[in-house]
Homo-oligomer: A and B are copies of this chain.
């Protein structure tokens, strides 16, 4: 199922868009500031972004530019002023479409579908450039299998990389050691899952500033681990 990120500070509008998109079977998330929106967009979980121009914090121009530096996913920019639309079109920020408020929900859905279809058509099954996950200072390049922490590359082994990538791709979700084992090791955990603990430790040594107070992979005592977004 395709995932759409709405970056919009007017709650009523965002909710309305969300409702209509969900009726068309899209999965929708909303962020209400530019900064949070950018971060979520760069997490790599979304297939399309609907971006309002006027936002608290970082504005839409900037967010669009920053997303484009890393991602090729379709971006639909939305503004209340027709003049702004003409202006940003000329700036060549790399947005894929521009809509002036107010617009009909069905038009939004139609455009979203069209952009998704084109993206699939062009990028298709080939190499998706969309394989960079970035959360705060952590950057994971999936095809190159490289990990950077605050710009510095850290060398990861296969299992470490797979485990970190899985957690980072599914943030804010607690996984038990058994679940992680099944996910990365492709088999049922017959008893011993101590190796998961050891791998988590090794990952933390590479990505955390202070392993005792992890910023990325949290321990949920008695349950498992969670990647904090």
Write the residues of chain A forming the contact surface with B, with a CB cutoff of 8 angstroms. Answer: 72, 89-90, 92, 94, 96, 110, 113-114, 117-119, 121-123, 127, 129, 141, 143-146, 157-159, 172-174, 220-223, 226
A117: B residues at CB distance < 8 A: 92, 94
Q: Which residue of B lies closest to A172 (CB)?
A: B144
Say whether B145 contacts A220, CB under 8 Å: yes
**Of all chain B residues, which has the CB nearest A223?**
B158
- Do the beta carbons of A174 and B144 come within 8 Å of each other? yes
Tell me whether A110 and B90 are in contact (CB under 8 A). yes
Residues of B within 8 A of A174 (CB): 143-145
A interface, by DSSP: helix, strand, loop or mixed? mixed
Q: Which residues of B contact A158 (CB under 8 A)?
A: 220-223
In the complex, residue of chain B having the shortest beta-carbon distance to the beta carbon of A175: B143
> What CA separation (Å) do A72 and B172 show in the bound complex?
18
Pair A121/B222 contact, Cβ less than 8 Å: no
Min CB gap A14→B, angstroms: 24
- CB distance B92 to A226 under 8 Å? no
Other 11 A-B pairs with CB < 8 A, given A94-B117, A127-B173, A145-B174: A89-B110, A92-B117, A94-B121, A143-B173, A143-B174, A144-B173, A145-B220, A157-B222, A158-B220, A158-B222, A159-B222
Q: How far is A146 from B222 in the complex, measured between Cα atoms in Å? A: 14
A127 and B128 CA atoms in complex are apart in Å by 14
A118 to B121 CA separation, bound complex (whole angstroms): 13
Which B residues are CB-close (under 8 A) to A92? 113-114, 117
